[in-house]
Structure 1
Amino acid sequence: MASISDPNIRDGFTRAMEEIHNKQLQTYEEIIDMTTDLCQSQRQFVKSAHDTCLKKCKDDEMLFETIQTFKKDLVQNYVSLKGKQHAISDMIAEIQQKEMQKDGIIQKIEKLKEEQARRKELIHSQNKTNKDRLRNLQKARVVFQDHLGMEIRAIRGKTQLVKSELLQFVFRNIKPSDQDIPYVVTMGIKEDGSYQIVSSDPGLECLPALESRLQESNKLAAFLANVRKEFISQAR
């Protein structure tokens, strides 16, 4: 066994130790370089993560602001929608009310048309009746005025039912002792077209009965003839 004091062995050991030391230094350098690279990479990663987080925060803030804006818009839209719904409801109610008023107006117009038609028919009927009355009066005038000396006068009516002109039939040649004494019967036409005997002078007790017969027969000449007979009978 070689002695440790052997120079060759000592030099070999020294060289071996130096080689081991150099390898360890190289390994340390590699570890340091690797650590440096790792630190640099870590710093870059941290910086990138920090930048990403900052950007994410800004994006989140913008998103939050956008959400808040959307919420405000949504609230405003909801309020506006409620107002429009109320306005639409009011408009629908107003339209319905106008439709009801329209139906009422249409019904009133129909009633007015029916009433106008009835009035027109009534006026036509009254005109026809008045024409018949006029023909009767003309016949009576021919018979009594021309042949019996009867006078026909027109006066203004003052009764409730007859407010137009009245006719007075003045009979003469009744009393033999004084043929100029006038015997008068006053009559007119009601709004429904029927005759109304207003009065007679002198009064005749049978005048209501004669009027009733006139209403039934509508023969004025016969009525005047009967009145004249009653005046003659009363005068004698």
Structure 2
Amino acid sequence: MTSITDPNMSARFSSAMDEIHNKQLKTYGEIMDTTTELCQSHKQFVKTALDTCLKKCKDDEVLFETMQTFKRDLEQKNVSLKEKRHAISDVISEIQQKEMQKEDIIQKIEKLKEEQAKRKELIISQNKANKERLRNLQKARLVFQDHLGMEIRTILGKTQLIKGEKLQFVFRNINPSDQDSAYVVTMGIKQDGSYQIVSSDPVLDCLPVLESRLQETNNLPAFLANVRKEFISQARC
């Protein structure tokens, strides 16, 4: 083993330290060179990136202005389109309203035609019913007036209950003790052609039943005969 006091050992140690120091300096130099190159490269990169960003910003500003212009144009077109849609909607609404009015007028005309036809049918039916009732009245007049001494009178009703022209059938020869005593039934004809019994004097409790039977059979002579029977029955009680 070499002694630490060996002069050669000291020289070798110094030489080794110098070599290590030189290597370190070389390494530091290389690091500095690399760092310098990296700094230059970074500066160039930053400059390039900055130029690119500035150009991009300018391009973005141009694009933004273009987009704003397009947006304003689009808004104006939307407003114009909305106004046109409103105008078209108003025209369509007006057309639809006129169509509805047209349909309403057509329906009213058809309804008037139907009502006119119904009125015509009703008038024909009423005329037919009135002729039939006139024949019944003539038969009743022949049977009752000529053979049984019944009198037929025409009166004009003035009250709210009795309005229009009415007929009174006046029966005599009912009460054996008073042959001239009058027993009266008042009746008329409704708009639909049916009979309407207004009153009787004296009052007959069964008059509604006789009226209902008259409506069913339309046989006026039979009705008058039944009324006469009821008057006779009442007079003899």
Please report the TM-score for the alignment, with normalisation by the length of structure 1.
0.60
Mapped contact 1:161–1:191 kept (Cα < 8 A) = no
- Cα distance in 2 for residues equivalent to 1:197 and 1:82: 73
Structure 2 residue aligned with 1:219: 219
Q: Which residue identity is paired with 2:187?
A: M
Q: What pairs with 1:188-203 in structure 2 (closer than 5 Å)?
A: 188-203=188-203
Q: Which residue identity is paired with 2:104?
A: G
Structure 2 residue aligned with 1:33: none
Aligned residues: 159
Structure 1 residue aligned with 2:122: 122
Q: Which residue identity is paired with 1:210?
A: L
Three-state SS of the structure 2 residue aligned to 1:164 is strand
Q: What pairs with 1:79-98 in structure 2 (closer than 5 Å)?
A: 90-98=90-98
Q: 1:132 to 1:162 in 2, by over 3 A?
A: farther
Mapped contact 2:183–2:201 kept (Cα < 8 A) = yes
Structure 2 residue aligned with 1:234: 234
Structure 2 residue aligned with 1:100: 100
Mapped contact 1:161–1:190 kept (Cα < 8 A) = no
Unpaired runs of 5+ residues, structure 1, are 1-78
Q: Which residue identity is paired with 2:153?
A: R
- Cα distance in 2 for residues equivalent to 1:160 and 1:112: 31
CA drift of 1:94 comes to: 2.2
CA drift of 1:164 comes to: 2.3
CA drift of 1:90 comes to: 3.9
Structure 1 residue aligned with 2:111: 111
CA drift of 1:152 comes to: 0.8
Structure 2 residue aligned with 1:176: 176
Q: Which residue identity is paired with 1:164?
A: G
Q: 1:214 to 1:115 in 2, by over 3 A?
A: same
Q: 1:143 to 1:165 in 2, by over 3 A?
A: same
CA drift of 1:159 comes to: 6.4
Q: Which residue identity is paired with 1:178?
A: D
> What whole-Å deviation, never above 9, does each CA across 1:194-214 have from its counterpart, x for those lacking one?
111111101112111111111
CA drift of 1:82 comes to: 9.7
Unpaired runs of 5+ residues, structure 2, are 1-79
Q: What pairs with 1:1-236 in structure 2 (closer than 5 Å)?
A: 90-158=90-158, 163-236=163-236
Q: Which residue identity is paired with 1:235?
A: A
Three-state SS of the structure 1 residue aligned to 2:145 is helix
Three-state SS of the structure 2 residue aligned to 1:157 is strand
Alpha carbon RMSD of aligned pairs, Å? 2.5
CA drift of 1:229 comes to: 1.2
Q: Which residue identity is paired with 2:179?
A: Q
Three-state SS of the structure 2 residue aligned to 1:94 is helix
Q: Which residue identity is paired with 1:118?
A: K
Q: 1:172 to 1:130 in 2, by over 3 A?
A: same
- Greater Rg, structure 1 or structure 2? 1
Three-state SS of the structure 1 residue aligned to 2:163 is coil
- Cα distance in 2 for residues equivalent to 1:235 and 1:162: 27
Q: Which residue identity is paired with 1:132?
A: E
Mapped contact 2:162–2:198 kept (Cα < 8 A) = no
- Cα distance in 1 for residues equivalent to 2:96 and 2:103: 10
Q: Which residue identity is paired with 1:121?
A: E
- Cα distance in 1 for residues equivalent to 2:84 and 2:120: 51
Q: 1:140 to 1:205 in 2, by over 3 A?
A: same
Three-state SS of the structure 1 residue aligned to 2:184 is strand
Identity of counterpart residues, as a percentage?
83
CA drift of 1:95 comes to: 2.8
Q: Which residue identity is paired with 1:126?
A: Q
CA drift of 1:124 comes to: 1.3
> What whole-Å deviation, never above 9, does each CA across 1:79-107 have from its counterpart, x for those lacking one?
9x999987665444323211110011101
Q: 1:208 to 1:159 in 2, by over 3 A?
A: farther
